[in-house]
Chains A and B, each alone.
Chain A
Amino acid sequence: MRRTTLWYGSLVVAEKNMRIYYLKAPVLIFGIILPFFLCLAFVMGRDISLSSFVPGVVGMTLFFTSSSVGPLVTPWERNARTYERLLSTPLSLSAILLGDVISGFIYGLAISFLPVVLGVTIFGCGLDNVSLLLGGIVVGAFSFAALGVLLSAPHTGAPSHIMMLSALIRFPIVFLSGVFVPLEKMGQTGRMIALFSPLTYVVDIMREAFHGGSYYPLGMDFLLVVAYFFGLFYVALHLHRRGLTKSF
């Protein structure tokens, strides 16, 4: 028997999550269907260039999909009484939560390529820098997946409560992060608020990758998204650990 390491354990948890949660209705609704209709509602009937809208859509899709798995897993497992079983195994809480992050990351990574392909092939949006796009998607997916895991920390018996809470938090973030209105066209207050959203920096990277013209320096964008990942994961770990006492 081999010892269960952090990475190995988190990969096993991620595999389990992929099997069980990717096709659950809350993940599909809050991760794919809602953002899709949000885009339609914004675009339809308005005189805007679709290609200029693609970077924002990619950022938003990445945001919603990556952060949709995390809020479901822990509340679902608490409710289904599989959480205690998992905690009694040699997996550390860090490994379990990292596994949740990885499953959210892979989900976001896979789904976000859809708007990229559609944007480039159908809407004729140019793609200036593929490496930058990939780099932005990777760090963004990790950061948003960590946000999803953080959102699952409040202790509640019903997964639907957490999904509603996560929707309540994620929707305003989309409107305050330069997805629909570019940062340069936002007012002073809007730009100030946008500074606190990790999505702002990911969308900024996407804009640079598709047709240039990032608002912030790229190094700062990447640094802040990575910092958000570590910050969100640290807080998530702390809150989940504290919640263990309440769980039992």
Chain B
Amino acid sequence: MEKAVVAEGLRKSFGTVVAIDRISFWVNSGEVFGFLGPNGAGKTTTVRILTGILKQDSGRVLVMGVDVLREPTRAKQSMGVVPEQANAYGDLSPWQNLMLMGKIYGVSKRLRERRAEQLLSVLELLDRRDDKVREFSRGMKQKLLFAIAVLHAPPLLFLDEPTSGLDVQSARLIRQMIDQENRRGTTVFLTTHNMDEASRLCHRIGIIRRGDLVAIDTPEQLRKAIEERQLVEVKFNREPGDTGNLRKLQGVGRLEVAGGIVRLFTETPDSVIRELVAYAQKNGLEFVSLNTSPPTLEDVFVELTK
């Protein structure tokens, strides 16, 4: 499988603070690669190096086979970027923003006009095409940034928290667009704090913690890696009293009680359920609800980044 992005031994420090420490990974062509990590873990620094905005102290980045440090212009030509907390030009209209970026990427006038009209239409901004962007809501600005990133139909997209702070509809629309772009063959490098989004969109996920890449795999494999965090959730008709006895049930690793719901983390949900039934009978409790769930990506994330 061809690789759209290859990062080898990337290191970057700011003064005495090491932002990323010799991380290596690759992104296959055509996949959506999620890049997760807590705040300050080094995600944005990594994206800025991959997109040629920052220079690494050591290591190498190849984007679509082109060395970003040696040939930044050629490498950047093949990517579309939605940087973290970036803005479109507020003094320009969406149309002028798109035309400006189209010119910068060398898209012909006819093509950029056609693409701009299509994108504004799909992103529900066509009727506001001549208004100043500074009058737009955060969601509208973010949609415009996405349109700017894909205007020149790049084979690779870097999206740094593209749905952060958006309302449900706007976030959903952006996710649909990411999915559509990916179906067309575009490789997507996605940074997000939204575990549900990462779980639904990403083929593979890399998790970074304090500048180190601590895991990289498919969401399913990552979940399997922490199977002991399977969850049994139970609600009785009344408070079970001393939860210490529940904690002693065979196979229970950890126990949380909140809002009358008892959460038991275990590697063996079947035996825990049997134990719970016996416990309920012995203590005259009735089940109101009983659920099991595998570990979520959020559980994986919390486990690997704590």
Interface residues of A (CB under 8 A from B): 1-4, 8-9, 12, 15-16, 19-20, 80-82, 84-85, 87-92, 244-245, 248
Contact = CB atoms under 8 A, between A and B. Distances in A.
A12 B100 contact: yes
Contact of B152 (A1, A88, A245, A248): A1
Contacts of A244: 53-55
Q: Interface extent on B, as a size class?
A: 35 or more
B136 interface: no
Given A3-B73, A20-B92, A245-B54, A89 B104 contact: yes
Contacts of A248: 44-45, 48, 53-54
Contacts of A1: 77, 105-108, 152
Nearest to B85: A81
Interface of B: 14, 44-45, 48, 51-55, 72-74, 76-77, 79, 81, 83, 85-92, 96, 100-101, 103-108, 145, 148, 152, 158
A19 B76 CA distance: 25
A16 B100 contact: yes
A24 to B, nearest CB: 9
Contact of B77 (A85, A87, A90): A90
A92 B73 contact: yes
Given A2-B106, A84-B85, A248-B54, 16 more contacts: A1-B106, A1-B152, A3-B106, A15-B100, A16-B92, A80-B87, A80-B90, A85-B87, A87-B52, A89-B101, A90-B76, A90-B106, A244-B54, A245-B54, A248-B45, A248-B48
Contacts of B108: 1
Nearest to B14: A245
A8, A85, A87: which has the most chain B beta carbons within 10 Å? A85
A84 B81 CA distance: 10
A82 B52 CA distance: 16
Contacts of B85: 81, 84
Contacts of B158: 88
A88 B77 contact: no
Contacts of B81: 85, 88-89
Contacts of A82: 86-89
